[in-house]
Amino acid sequence: MAKKKRHWRDLLKKAYLHGSEIDGEITVTVKGFEEIEVYSRREQSKEELGVMTFEEDIKPIVLTSRKCEALEYLLGSPDIYDWVGKKVTFYTKDEKHFGKIHPVITVKTTVSKKDAPKKEPLLIGGAKWSQAVDSLVSGTATITSIKKYYSLSAKAEAELKKQANEKLQAKSEQSGKANDPTKN
């Protein structure tokens, strides 16, 4: 009988999951988050890192900005507390870092339609409606960025654009009158 292959890192008993410990894909349920202090060889100092813990019996994963951006995209929210209880799939891919190839833990960002998170609908006149209109008027949001977090029917999208344009036009007329010395 052939022996199962085992990476040398398995012998080190590290507290956090390493890419070499993932064979294929793993799907886990987010339990929570912790902040840890580690020594950075690159920075030659201590730094704080975020760690994601899981409901399943698996080591926590150290978070990176790349993982967090992928999780935000996948789970539809930048708020880490919205991620708790959600299923996430990780896999590894080989990347070159510090002159060597390493297995890097990566978030699988493609999901089937049935597993995709449901977005809250943005309803005309609903609780978030005026905030969405104001965000469009102020330029802090676009229709695309709003659709990232809310489902928007074609009718609601048209109405949102209409109301934002009306507010912009009224604002423009208001500032035009204030600046025109012939209008009193």
Other C-beta atoms closer than 10 Å to the C-beta of 150 total: 17
Contact 149, 77 (CB under 8 A): yes
128-179: pLDDT as tens digits: 888 989 988 898 989 888 888 888 888 888 999 999 999 989 888 887 665 5
Contact 166, 135 (CB under 8 A): no
Task: State the pLDDT at residue 2.
Answer: 65
Task: Report how far residue 38's alpha carbon sits from residue 135's, in angstroms, rounded to the nearest whole number.
Answer: 39
58-98: pLDDT as tens digits: 999 999 889 999 999 888 889 999 999 999 999 988 888 77
